[in-house]
Chain A
Amino acid sequence: MADQTLPIHGSLDLTPPREGESTWLETLHSWVITVDHKKLGLMYMMLAIFFLLVGGAEVLLIRIQLAVPNNHLISPQVFNRLFTMHGTTMVFLVGMPLVFAWANYIIPLQIGARDMAFPRLNAFSFWLTAFGALLLYFSFLGGAGLYGMGNAPDVTWWAYAPLTARAFSPGNATDYWALALLVTGFGTLGGAINIIATTFSMRCKGMTLMRMPLFTWLLLVDSGLLLVTITPLTAAQVMLLLDRYLGAHFFDTQAGGQAILWMHFFWIFGHPEVYVLVFPAFAIASEVIPVFSRKAIFGYPAMVAAGVGIGFVSLGVWAHHMFTVGMTSAGNAFFVLSTMLVGIPTGIKIFNWVATMWGGKLRFATPMLFSTAFLFQFLAAGLTGIMLSVAPWNWQLHGSYFVIAHFHYVLVGAIVFMVFAGIYYWFPKATGRMMDEKLGKWHFWLFLIGFHVTFDTMHFLGFEGMPRWIYTYPADRGWDHLNLVVSIGGLIQGVAVLIFAYNLVSSLFKGKIAGNDPWDAWTLEWSTASPPPVYNFATDPVVHSRRPLWDIKHPEDPDWKYE
């Protein structure tokens, strides 16, 4: 750190806080009625972490059931509910809230704004998400419906027709699925609109679009993608509810309708959705890797272009989830090629992250450990994805554990790893305290080992022919040892997450005081206090380059001379 010119003179309010603050009821009230982007971002984060634990518990039950052959610990009906709720929870109640947790907390701070463009819409969107989550989980109690059948949804997270027709899913389980996701879907739409309006309309002076931090850029692209991703699901779910309640025939084969229409509509949502979930991982990597390599990100314009490219191409690949339904050869070929195409901009990003590290002064603090693992794992996930994009290969492995291994490599190996990296990185900013490095390293190594024990093995389970969605399997298939190994890896990951949870809570009270800028970073959020005051910046920042804090700390060598 060169000149100690931070914090910017006059940027901090030095009025001491009031003595004898608030009762716990007043504090709770202030959180419930808040429209402040920082509080809402933290609430989204707490929602996501809570449901990560719930979804994790669901899968641990699944793994215990599958650890040995011919197991009857859990009945097939309960098993179906568990994997449906696991998938639905992880995508809609963990992955999506995380997008908004990151965006809401960090974007205004990175662009030098006081809050999001629409603070009340922000609060409304959060509470829609929270109540949608409650509605989904209420199904465990209330799903019995009129005929005393049904419970939590058990139709898999993609709820194919005609299984979801009233004839085949009596009771209200499917209705809870559709309604809860309709509610959270509106929250998602509000959140995406907010992010786009904020990024376009609230940037501080001097911050042109090409000077925004990559984190903000990638979440902007993510939100644009969300506008046309979540809405097809909303439309399809309205159609499903019309079928179930008003006797419509959208997916009713008896009346000439076609179940495949649901598949197309769902995957037109479902594929871009997984890109929506992974963009925050890209965004966090693009902040953490440069700071811990002590080098600006390699190829900023290419990273922006690649992000936009991924967004567009991801809209055209959906039927690679449907290679086995019997589309024409031309149809199959189109989706093979479009899926392979998306590997190009993705590869550019991976190259650029590696090029950022190349020749840099690497510092392997916990965020960087998770980011490095992310690079390897995301690459591997992309490669198995390209394998699956080859239609004949897909015909062999569709519906097998190879597919589960592939997408968990992305969801856990890329996304969850970067979630941890992001939390270790920005926890000091949000709370003013550092997380414990030693516990962080235990968390990292245990989680890494558990992850690979589970998901590397799972690829081979797929090769051995084990199908998805089965609640048990016979002993003579050769799947027993592999399944046991997979389950043990799951338990190891569970332990690692518990260490993380302990670290999170204990650092809140006993963590080392962080100061403004513990990592010597370069974006605007590190110029204000930790935690930031409610107004973020006492004076509106003015920036001249992509790394405003570098310019301040190194006035003899500012970035704007080179950009």
Chain B
Amino acid sequence: MSATAIPLVPGGHEQTWHRPSRGRVGMYCLIIGECAIFTIFVVAYVFYIGKSLNGPTPAQVLEVPIFNTICLLSSSVTIWLAERAIERGILRTFGLWWAATIALGVIFLIGTGLEWYKLIYHDGLTIRTNLFGTTFYSIVGLHATHVVVGLTMLLLVLLFTLTGHVREEHSERIQVLALYWHFVDAVWVVVFTVVYIVGR
């Protein structure tokens, strides 16, 4: 600050200058935007409950994916444990919990794939069969797409961890990424409730 030009300044406000981290703000903004996209698909799903003119109904073909859900929600716990580990600089533990998160996410995706295989080939439900098929595959598919994107990011970080590039000073960035994963899990809670509980 230049001493020549700035005049008497207001009485010493020597508080530290606080600003939020831009990565965190950015990620919250992305999450808000994505919530709006999911809301539209949820509204469409709820609007069309019971309105299909034909074909299999949810009650006939849907099995509540309890195991899958437990896996995905546990992955939020494992990623939280990973965040705590890297905050304290224990990188080996971090890597293990991070890998566990990825594994649980992959199990979830495989489970979704098996469910869709059954629905398509055994129950004859596709996106064009009826309104239930349309809204089911689009909302569950949209969520699964976000899981894929999240897993891709997580896998990249695992690679960097294994090659020794991730260190304690990156814990803030890890937390920003974990925020996205928590969002993906929270969306699943909503999708699960709407599709398998309310809509069945």
Whether A and B are associated in the same complex: the answer reads yes
- Could you list which residues of chain A lie within 8 angstroms of chain B, going by C-beta atoms? 5-6, 8-11, 117-118, 189, 192-194, 196-198, 200-203, 205-206, 227-228, 230-232, 234-236, 238-239, 242, 246-250, 255-258, 261, 265, 268, 539-540, 542, 544, 551-552, 555-556, 558, 560-561
Partner of A231, one of B37, B127, B134, B142: B37
- A255 with B25: CB separation less than 8 A: no
Q: Counting CB contacts under 8 A, is B149 at the interface?
A: no
- B138 with A9: CB separation less than 8 A: no
For this complex, 22 residue pairs linking A to B, each with C-beta atoms less than 8 Å apart, are A118-B22, A189-B30, A192-B29, A193-B29, A200-B19, A227-B29, A227-B32, A231-B36, A232-B37, A235-B36, A248-B134, A248-B138, A249-B128, A255-B131, A256-B48, A256-B53, A256-B130, A257-B48, A258-B47, A542-B6, A555-B8, A558-B7
Q: Counting CB contacts under 8 A, is B164 at the interface?
A: no
CB contacts (< 8 Å) of B48 on chain A: these are: 256-257
Given the contacts A235-B41, A246-B128, A198 and B22 also touching, CB distance less than 8 Å: yes
Q: Counting CB contacts under 8 A, is B59 at the interface?
A: no
**Contact code string B68-104 (vs A, CB < 8 Å = 1, else 0):** 0000000000000000000000000000000000000
Partner of A197, one of B17, B22, B53, B138: B22
- B7 with A555: CB separation less than 8 A: yes
Report the separation of the CA atoms of residues A540 and B7 in the bound assembly, to the nearest whole angstrom: 17
Q: Counting CB contacts under 8 A, is B115 at the interface?
A: no
- B10 with A560: CB separation less than 8 A: yes
- A247 with B9: CB separation less than 8 A: no
Partner of A9, one of B4, B25, B142: B4
CB contacts (< 8 Å) of B128 on chain A: these are: 246-249
Q: Counting CB contacts under 8 A, is B51 at the interface?
A: yes
Report the separation of the CA atoms of residues A201 and B172 in the bound assembly, to the nearest whole angstrom: 15
Report the separation of the CA atoms of residues A551 and B7 in the bound assembly, to the nearest whole angstrom: 8
Give the residue among A194, A197, A198, A561 with the most B Cβ atoms within 10 A.
A197
**Contact code string B25-50 (vs A, CB < 8 Å = 1, else 0):** 11001101110110111001001100
- A201 with B19: CB separation less than 8 A: yes
Report the separation of the CA atoms of residues A6 and B2 in the bound assembly, to the nearest whole angstrom: 11
Given the contacts A242-B138, A257-B131, A227 and B6 also touching, CB distance less than 8 Å: no
Taking A189-B30, A196-B26, A544-B9 as known contacts, 4 extra A-B pairs with beta carbons closer than 8 A to each other, sorted by chain A number, are A9-B2, A231-B36, A248-B127, A261-B47
Question: Nearest Cβ distance between residue B137 and chain A, in whole angstroms?
Answer: 8
Report the separation of the CA atoms of residues A234 and B135 in the bound assembly, to the nearest whole angstrom: 16
CB contacts (< 8 Å) of B32 on chain A: these are: 227-228
Question: Nearest Cβ distance between residue B177 and chain A, in whole angstroms?
Answer: 15
Q: Counting CB contacts under 8 A, is B5 at the interface?
A: yes
Q: Counting CB contacts under 8 A, is B52 at the interface?
A: yes
Partner of B51, one of A8, A189, A248, A256: A256
CB contacts (< 8 Å) of B39 on chain A: these are: 232
CB contacts (< 8 Å) of B37 on chain A: these are: 231-232, 234-235
